[in-house]
Structure 1
Amino acid sequence: MASLGGNVFRRFMIVRRPRLMSRCNGYRRCFSTNFLTQEDGHCDEIPSNIEHVLQEYYEKQQTSSSIQMLMKTGRGEMLGKTYKSEAFMGRLGHQLATNRILIQFASFLSQEIPIRLAHRIRDLDQVPILRDMHAVQQVKAIYIRSFLEMIDFPPILNSNDEQKFAHMLGDLYTKHSGVLVQMAKGAYELREGIRSGDINVSKDVDDDFSLESLIDCHRCLDRFYMSRIGIRVLAGQYLAMRQEPQNNYIGMICQKTSPSAVVREAAANVTKLCTERYGRAPEVQLIGRLDLTFPYIPTYLHYIVLELLKNALRATCEKFELSSSLPPVVVVIADGTDNEDVVIKITDEGGGIPRSQIEKIWSYLYTTAGSSLQKAVFSGKDHSDMSPMAGLGYGLPISRSYARYFGGDIDLMSMDGHGTDVFVYLKRLGDTKEPIPV
């Protein structure tokens, strides 16, 4: 796995796509006839007419990034001249620098994203049993379409090319907005198949679907979601850099992200959800380093905190259903001068989790919600503040994937019968390379 260092990134300023274009165009026309016209996006197998071009991209090395590297790219530090060295020329120089940055970033993405898509297409095609779920086949179809559209795009040599690429990538970014929920639906279909007896889980590793196969399904989902985070961070950062700049922002990275502000916003969202569901909600108390700021992507931190607070408030309401008052949920933000992490602790008195269930809560194949509730939420999009209090079973594992993607982690300690402490570790320096799954 390559690292997104200066030399690696700079080479995309003069990149020329290998002469696969006429061949790929031919594949795409043939592929459209056989596959893209299918209304439900159903795809049992990778069409043979794109198999070897997919394999060619699958065998290429992926390139990792980090928050610091994305900020340096946004400032033009990966160019031969820095952003500031051209910006002194005034508005024209500022625009020239911005255009060069965007052309460089777009050239990198036009090469990198197809490689990452190829890895996930291959993974979804090979994972046992899960690959047969209709929702998973639909996701694979979306990824194949996107892969073909990306490799069909010509080399990005000037600002006009870059603008066309941005339009195409923006469309793909929107089309993929429901993929997280769609994959969760695939996990639901697998769970329902096991529950109904249509899929039998066996301890015999030679059987079609053994316990080892179930573990393989979970690992595939872990790789899929981690890769998806990386693709959307890179694409989202590039698209955000094309918008009007905001104070303290480079693209979608806020150089002064305030954990306390993010917690307050998430708490307000969850309190509203909880009140609608249960008629009341426990108070969310916030203490600690409320003045702390550090470079991060607020959108993703908001998602993490939102999911953890939903669990805490729901558990509290359900445990104290017959009580006239609710104990508060306490959020502590901790950081010291020499700490490598910013740490957020969320404490509730919602009854805790039995020790035997701790490992299950990190599984994409586990949920406490019933089938009717799960079905009701499959029309949602990523990062919705109005998502239900429970249902799809991916809130905790996805939150941990987000934290780990940026070099942090999530840990949990529970006292069965009393409550739970969840610790969110956020890498303060933002220099950790993204953990790209192969």
Structure 2
Amino acid sequence: AAVHPPRFPSPRPQPQLQPQTPHASNPTPLLPELIVGEQAGRGERICVLAPLPSSLSFLMRLVLRGALRRSATMRPSFSRLFSSSDYSNRERESFEEELERVAQRSQTSVSLKATLDTGLGLLLPEGDNSNGMTRRERTLLQIATFLKRELPVRLARRVVELKALPEGLDQMPSVNRVREWYEQSFVEIRSFPTPSNVSEEAKFADLLHRIYERHAPTLVTMARGVHELKQTLKAERGPDYDLSDAAEIHGFLDTFYMSRIGVRILIGQYLELHNEQQPEGYVGLINRETSPAFLAEQAAADATYLCDRTHGDAPEVLIEGATGCTFTYIPSHLYYCLFELLKNSARAVCESHSVGAHLPPIKVIIADGEKNEDVVIKVSDEGGGIPRSHMPRIFSYLFTTATPAFDAGSSIFSSAGDHDRESPLAGLGYGLPISRTYARYFGGDLNIMSMEGYGTDAFLHLSRLGNRAEPLP
């Protein structure tokens, strides 16, 4: 079977945002219900919300007038968005009240299988094609209608959380910047009418593409916010103050990044489905013939490049086991996990052996079988292992054994996305916890076993079935 590199949403045109004409009345949705998954063998039917009140066009005018500005020094003012006496009590509610109300709504959990089936058009209501649209157009409109309802709920919940973080983390400039991105995206989606035809769906896709790009630097910007908090607390409480064991902050970050992965998948999958020509095996971001061995080769090449650039040498990477296996997965997620594990192993091997000495190889072993519950990948190195005292903190976002990238003066993090091979070799301390979050998102896991003085084995478990719903925070 043919294999392809992991896919990320393709660049799309960036048209200027045009004012939306409010609906005179709420039209009847083309697709009144959306099947999003299966529980106990039965479809779970989710009702689609009716379009928003036309008064929200006032909110759009605020967007168009520049009330929401992406600036680190100037925060948008949302104190009273609906203040005219012409509006009803609900329409006069402040942005804060609107945000709180939407955040109270329930989220809809999806699975990899449901995402795949929806992209294939398998969940479309039968016989409902009164507007003469193609199956692909109906599928995109179905997904757009679902996202119009679901995304504001997820964004609102994150904004509420970002306003009440422990230890003063919510006061850090970088965290404020991230919150402003979420607030702006919430307002833009809420003020957009529910798509009811092909033209409106295309405009909605353009809006989501701009939002997708806006949030690309969220991971590293939040990491900078945590770094700012560390520096602030050290200045207040002394240079020896250690934030590594702040369980409340770690818990928030774990929840925040899990939610972010979900939003990125929902939007990224929808945007990719707009490409009519899909590579063989792909449905949006999902590849039904994902090859762990092929992705391991790519990750090994990129990790070797980074290691050689940093240390002047790099260990060989051997790929063994079930190298011919394929399964349904999102290749970009698997690539990220393998890249981080191999990057850590390569650095450990180089730092634990003297310059010019023979470097023992890193082994990637793939285990798979038709009856296996998981595809399991082991990354094994002889890089000296991890001290037992460090093991409880290796999955903490607040702990790293390398020089922090921000302290090293890296300029890459000013506008970088989630990850690429040009990033510093180590320093954020996010590699392992984010990799575990990616693995757990669709029912897998990441475990580490280490022998101090010898080496480390990482076990990456990936669910073969893809029927486990995402763990919503």
**Aligned equivalent of 1:180:** 219
Structure 2 unaligned blocks of 5 or more? 1-33, 81-93
Deviation at 1:115, TM superposition (A): 0.3
Give secondary structure in 2 for the equivalent of 1:305: helix
Give secondary structure in 2 for the equivalent of 1:362: coil
> 2:439·2:462 contact (CA, 8 Å) conserved in 1?
yes
Distance 1:322 1:37, change over 3 A: closer
**Aligned equivalent of 2:28:** none
Determine if the alignment matches structure 1 residue 227 to structure 2 residue 262. Answer: no
**Aligned equivalent of 2:158:** 120
- Provide the rounded CA distance (Å) in 2 between the counterparts of 1:42 and 1:333: 50
Determine if the alignment matches structure 1 residue 157 to structure 2 residue 196. Answer: yes
Deviation at 1:81, TM superposition (A): 2.5
- Provide the rounded CA distance (Å) in 1 between the counterparts of 2:58 and 2:76: 22
- Provide the rounded CA distance (Å) in 1 between the counterparts of 2:413 and 2:346: 22
Structure 1 unaligned blocks of 5 or more? 87-91, 203-208
Distance 1:42 1:311, change over 3 A: farther
**Aligned equivalent of 2:89:** none
Distance 1:362 1:10, change over 3 A: closer
Residue 440 (structure 2) aligned to one of 404, 423, 426: 404
Residue 108 (structure 2) aligned to one of 63, 67, 73: 63
**Aligned equivalent of 2:50:** 16
Distance 1:317 1:44, change over 3 A: farther
Distance 1:34 1:44, change over 3 A: closer
1:78-89 paired onto structure 2 within 5 Å: 78-81=123-126
> 2:441·2:470 contact (CA, 8 Å) conserved in 1?
yes
Distance 1:368 1:45, change over 3 A: farther
- Provide the rounded CA distance (Å) in 1 between the counterparts of 2:410 and 2:325: 40
**Aligned equivalent of 1:417:** 453
**Aligned equivalent of 2:3:** none
- Provide the rounded CA distance (Å) in 2 between the counterparts of 1:43 and 1:123: 17
**Aligned equivalent of 1:89:** none
1:313-324 paired onto structure 2 within 5 Å: 313-324=346-357
Return the letter of the residue paired with 2:106: Q
- Provide the rounded CA distance (Å) in 1 between the counterparts of 2:345 and 2:419: 18
Determine if the alignment matches structure 1 residue 296 to structure 2 residue 335. Answer: no
| 1:223-277 residue CA offsets vs partner (Å, 9 max, x unmatched) | 1100000000011111111112221111110001000000000101111111111
Distance 1:255 1:41, change over 3 A: farther
**Aligned equivalent of 2:408:** 373
**Aligned equivalent of 1:283:** 316
> 1:3·1:433 contact (CA, 8 Å) conserved in 2?
no
Deviation at 1:305, TM superposition (A): 0.5
> 1:41·1:137 contact (CA, 8 Å) conserved in 2?
no
- Provide the rounded CA distance (Å) in 2 between the counterparts of 1:36 and 1:197: 33
**Aligned equivalent of 2:185:** 146
Residue 58 (structure 2) aligned to one of 22, 26, 47: 26
> 2:349·2:384 contact (CA, 8 Å) conserved in 1?
yes
Determine if the alignment matches structure 1 residue 106 to structure 2 residue 140. Answer: no
Identical counterparts, % of pairs = 42
1:315-394 paired onto structure 2 within 5 Å: 315-371=348-404, 372-373=407-408, 375-379=410-414, 380-394=416-430
Deviation at 1:17, TM superposition (A): 2.1
Return the letter of the residue paired with 2:393: K
| 1:378-432 residue CA offsets vs partner (Å, 9 max, x unmatched) | 2322131222210211111001000000110000001111110000000111111
TM-score, with length taken from structure 1: 0.88
> 1:44·1:132 contact (CA, 8 Å) conserved in 2?
no
> 2:353·2:359 contact (CA, 8 Å) conserved in 1?
yes
Return the letter of the residue paired with 2:215: H
Return the letter of the residue paired with 2:161: D
Stretch of structure 1 that moved more, 250-259 or 25-34 = 25-34
> 2:71·2:177 contact (CA, 8 Å) conserved in 1?
no
Give secondary structure in 2 for the equivalent of 1:226: helix
Give secondary structure in 2 for the equivalent of 1:344: strand
Question: What count of residue pairs does the alignment treat as equivalent?
Answer: 417
- Provide the rounded CA distance (Å) in 2 between the counterparts of 1:178 and 1:263: 25
Deviation at 1:373, TM superposition (A): 2.3
Give secondary structure in 2 for the equivalent of 1:286: strand
Residue 36 (structure 1) aligned to one of 57, 68, 82: 68
Give secondary structure in 2 for the equivalent of 1:117: helix
TM-score, with length taken from structure 2: 0.82
- Provide the rounded CA distance (Å) in 1 between the counterparts of 2:117 and 2:460: 26
Stretch of structure 1 that moved more, 424-433 or 323-332 = 323-332
Deviation at 1:10, TM superposition (A): 6.7
> 1:412·1:420 contact (CA, 8 Å) conserved in 2?
yes
Return the letter of the residue paired with 2:223: A
> 1:352·1:420 contact (CA, 8 Å) conserved in 2?
yes
Distance 1:226 1:319, change over 3 A: same
Distance 1:63 1:430, change over 3 A: same
- Aligned alpha-carbon RMSD (Å): 2.8
